[in-house]
Amino acid sequence: MKGKYFISISNSKVKYEFSIKRNITVIQGDSATGKTTLVDMIREFEQNGADSGINLSSKKKCRVLEGNSWEENLSLMNDSIIFIDEGNRFVESADFAKAVKNSGNYYVIVTREGLDNLPYSIEEIYGIHISGKYADLKQVYHEFYRIYGNNNFNDCRIEKIITEDSNSGFDFFNAVCGGKIICESANGKSNIFKKLLQAKNEAVLAIADGAAFGSQMNLVGELLNKRENLFLFAPESFEWLILQSDILNDNEVKKILENPENYIESKDYFSWEQYFTKLLMEKTSNTFLNYSKKKINPNYLTENVKRKILTSDALKIIWESMTGKNRN
């Protein structure tokens, strides 16, 4: 399943309208914000159709998954948008993660907890915004979370960078730091919080793959809101940064990046970062920029290539902070 889907569901009391575009969407928020009402309406329409008094518009079938028989029921669902209300603890299990990975469905999961086994994007975490009788999904986090949310970032010179991985992404940023700025690897997304927590007074920037960092945002987001010297840069992935910098000058890549959801089949890619890695490897195969995720190709560290990546829109604000340019 791939693509972006608009869903509209309403009864005489409330109307929900929203779009989803990835295999995993998370809805969070406090009680009485309409999360369970949404799932209840989906369930009632699934069971009783128009007789329920509910109007549902969606190009894909909407289903509700719940209870102890979830695995058996899920095996009968395909090419559907599946809603799961909070309280269904199976969403935290490795078995559920395996089932999601191998299915051709999209999942909308209501939960207040981080789901460590699922690689969901920080861009696909929503709360429900209600205005009168109308409700829609309101994005909780943004791709450049905290960098653009903090008005003081441009006045702050970064003193340490922490990268999520220890492979090509770390190699690149470590080379960029050149010993002038400390660069460390967290050796995995689950260690980012601990690394940030250990920071004292220095300005620290964590760089993570936003496409799969959603489960960490409850802890990390709360910490960032408390500490003015901590920042998070969470683009889709390091490979996405390279692709969007246009060093490949490839028209097909440009078209894909405009609407990735139209190209990324959920059954083949657990998260978008996997797709961007494969795309970059395919596009650079047998070229001087041949990409390896394990270790950076030295050609990415040449001055022209490195500068083009760093001064692209996604990284420009970080580059300026590291070099001290355009500071007030």
Could you read off the pLDDT of 67-117 as tens digits, one per residue? Answer: 999 999 999 999 999 999 998 999 999 999 999 998 999 999 999 888 999
pLDDT above 60 (res 253): yes
Token pair listed for 104: 């051709």
Q: Which helix (H) or strand (E) holds 125?
A: strand 125-131
pLDDT above 60 (res 150): no
Residue holding tokens 């369970």? 36
Residue holding tokens 């969606």? 58
| The pLDDT value given to residue 328 | 42
Alpha-helical regions (H) of the chain: 35-48, 70-74, 94-101, 168-177, 192-198, 217-226, 238-244, 251-258, 272-284, 303-310, 316-323
| The pLDDT value given to residue 205 | 92
Cβ neighbors of 24 (< 8 A, separation 6 or more) are 100, 106, 107, 109, 118, 119, 120, 121, 124, 214
Residue holding tokens 């009788």? 133
Based on its alpha-carbon atoms, the radius of gyration of the chain, rounded to whole angstroms, reads 21
More confident residue, 315 or 301: 301
| The pLDDT value given to residue 324 | 61
pLDDT above 80 (res 151): no
Q: What is the spatial distance between Cα 302 and Cα 17, in angstroms, rounded to a whole number?
A: 48
Residue 237 burial class via C-beta count within 10 angstroms: exposed 0-12, middle 13-18, buried 19 and up: buried
Residue holding tokens 């799932």? 39
Taking every pair of C-alpha atoms in the chain, what is the biggest distance, in angstroms?
Answer: 68
Residue 131: other Cβ atoms inside 10 A: 7
| The pLDDT value given to residue 156 | 66
Token pair listed for 85: 């209300």
Model confidence pLDDT, tens digit, residues 20-38:
999 999 998 766 668 888 9
pLDDT above 80 (res 190): yes
Q: What is the spatial distance between Cα 229 and Cα 247, in angstroms, rounded to a whole number?
A: 32
Across residues 39-43, what is the average pLDDT?
A: 94
Model confidence pLDDT, tens digit, residues 258-305:
999 999 999 999 999 999 999 999 999 999 999 999 999 999 999 999
Q: Of all residues in the chain, what percent carry a pLDDT higher than 70?
A: 91
Q: Of all residues in the chain, what percent carry a pLDDT higher than 90?
A: 70
| The pLDDT value given to residue 180 | 86
**Measuring CA to CA, which residue among 40, 217, 248, 23 is closest to residue 125?**
217
Across residues 225-244, what is the average pLDDT?
A: 92
Mean pLDDT of the chain: 89
Query: Are 299 and 289 contacting, i.e. CB atoms less than 8 angstroms apart?
Result: yes
The phi-psi region of residue 169 (left if phi > 0; otherwise alpha if psi is between -120 and 50; otherwise beta) is alpha
pLDDT above 80 (res 316): no
pLDDT bin (cut points 50, 70, 90) of residue 147 is: low
Its sign, for the CA torsion 212, 209, 232, 245, is negative
pLDDT above 70 (res 153): no
Query: Are 234 and 210 contacting, i.e. CB atoms less than 8 angstroms apart?
Result: yes
Residue holding tokens 């692709």? 243
pLDDT bin (cut points 50, 70, 90) of residue 327 is: very low
Model confidence pLDDT, tens digit, residues 110-137:
998 889 999 999 999 998 887 778 888 8
CA angle 81, 84, 88 (to 5 degrees): 155
pLDDT bin (cut points 50, 70, 90) of residue 148 is: low
At 328, which amino acid appears?
N
Q: What is the spatial distance between Cα 233 and Cα 144, in angstroms, rounded to a whole number?
A: 6
Q: Which helix (H) or strand (E) holds 204?
A: strand 204-207
Q: How far is CA 189 from CA 34, 35, 162, 220, in A?
A: 31, 28, 11, 11
Pairing of strands 160-163, 204-207: parallel
Task: Look up the pTM and report it.
Answer: 0.90
Residue 77 burial class via C-beta count within 10 angstroms: exposed 0-12, middle 13-18, buried 19 and up: middle
Residue 104: other Cβ atoms inside 10 A: 15
pLDDT above 90 (res 178): no
